[in-house]
Structure 1
């Protein structure tokens, strides 16, 4: 099939219009039982799923993604032959839908780099480009991800990790280099390490990312549309507190996609050694819109904060919770625009903190109440 139209023509040209219709026919032929397919327009980059007519409309207005040369998301193999899509891909091949979950990572990256499209384009290129000419097992980005997993899993220092990168670089064929993500430089440890370190993982892009998947967007309305309502208590949505919130905040309850969250935190020693004076406090958000079988699944439990230092945060934990509280206030008071891939529409997403889950000492820190002693 001639694909020169992708690079030689643009929306509105007769050659381009013929080309995109040939693409739609090819994609529908290999769609299997799927009704929605990845959209390869320049804006969607195969990360948003749409109906064939919507894809045709997008491609008629926006240029076809020029980096998408092998139509692997629409049934084509690396050899250029087509096969009926089943929604699964080779775990070790260039599609990487398995253990390292590159596709999910790229979807999150797209949300994070909306204001810097050049960075995302470079990452997208590394995501699709083989590590070297003829390599079918790894892409440039997948090998970096595996190397970083190796570094984290075995506690490698930055200097030893850099040595590994240099070794791999020497082993690669000439004219092939690792992506810029791998350029880790040696550094000297600076004096005056802060007493505590805070990592915040912004929650708003993650919530928007959840709704960008049609299956997840459908599951997030389970509490309203899929729950068995017979008066028995099986889920938080059956509780008096849930009904009280529905009655008090009508506008919030009217939109069934609005999120009700639980916040859970506690301290731990990551080194597993009681003689080591160190404390790490993860702060996790749980989404109660989901059915009971999914609420506590790792995929839907969102790590939002990590507070790390030689001592626990104690009653000062509110200082470290500030960035999370700011985003929660935004989601409660104004909301954010999000795309629902299940209903194929934009909507105003809001969220509220439904409850907290912790032991009594952590409850005392979070609430400011005295829970022990006199």
Structure 2
């Protein structure tokens, strides 16, 4: 069945959940029938369950998968059954690329189309952090779940009757226009004030640049702030998180302050956790299909265009067959290079940025290390160094 005919996958029940729709039951039966022709089913009788609870992470029998799909529905955005024998076609790839075009060009869209666009964006951004959010529960949602529901709420309500924009979509559109037009923050605030004045009724239009950024910020990745020794000897992390002075040089961790309870460290680093960023590569349809490229595009000739074509990659696969048997496992590459930050080669030190990149991706997506370090050098030379 073609991708464009699968709207039944997310149209499961009647209003007020008064039973399953016949089109959904028929579609599930067709899905189960398609699973019986996959290699994994023919070998072992088990396939991945694509329900919203299992998220293709559990192997089950077909009867159990059917029950789960009736109960929980399909996991979000599973239009192409990549875990059940299908491949991303050229037509579907074009559709994915069209979905991520510039947000400043939305002429002629309806409220429903705009809602679907931003609902999918919220799910892609936050789903990996708590993929069990679909389960029924009587408990209060935790902080991450509450952030997800708040964002869904900001997507699902139009700003006023017959308006195609929600609070989230308008904030995203305004910030996109500001960036593409190179507008100042003051100009942004003036436009936001004008938009609010045009509405006589109370509305949720962002009042200024700060408020719009605050809305969009919730879609971003978390960062972890870690205190450091002022001399760079250590970081106060894990078993050392409660220390008040460096265990190597003895320097104090916090600045002396009188009459203030909040402790201010001399130095702090910003750590960007890796796992959520890897999870989002599989959560978004714009990147998930490419994560299998290294497995689907093997070469037998002597031309090497990707690390997966090299002998080191093949040797790793023979040494770790269990890891290599699952093409969705992430192959991370670690590379570094040194340069003198102050352009004085007589200095006794150099900077060595360390960059981690996933090599599952095809060559036109994997960033080249030479480009990375050239950019970092220019950034230091023309921005950081000039501002000192």
Which structure shows the higher helix fraction? 2
TM-score after normalising by structure 1: 0.46
Which structure shows the higher strand fraction? 1
Greater RCO, CA 8 A, separation 6+: 1
Rg (Cα) greater in structure: 2
TM-score after normalising by structure 2: 0.44
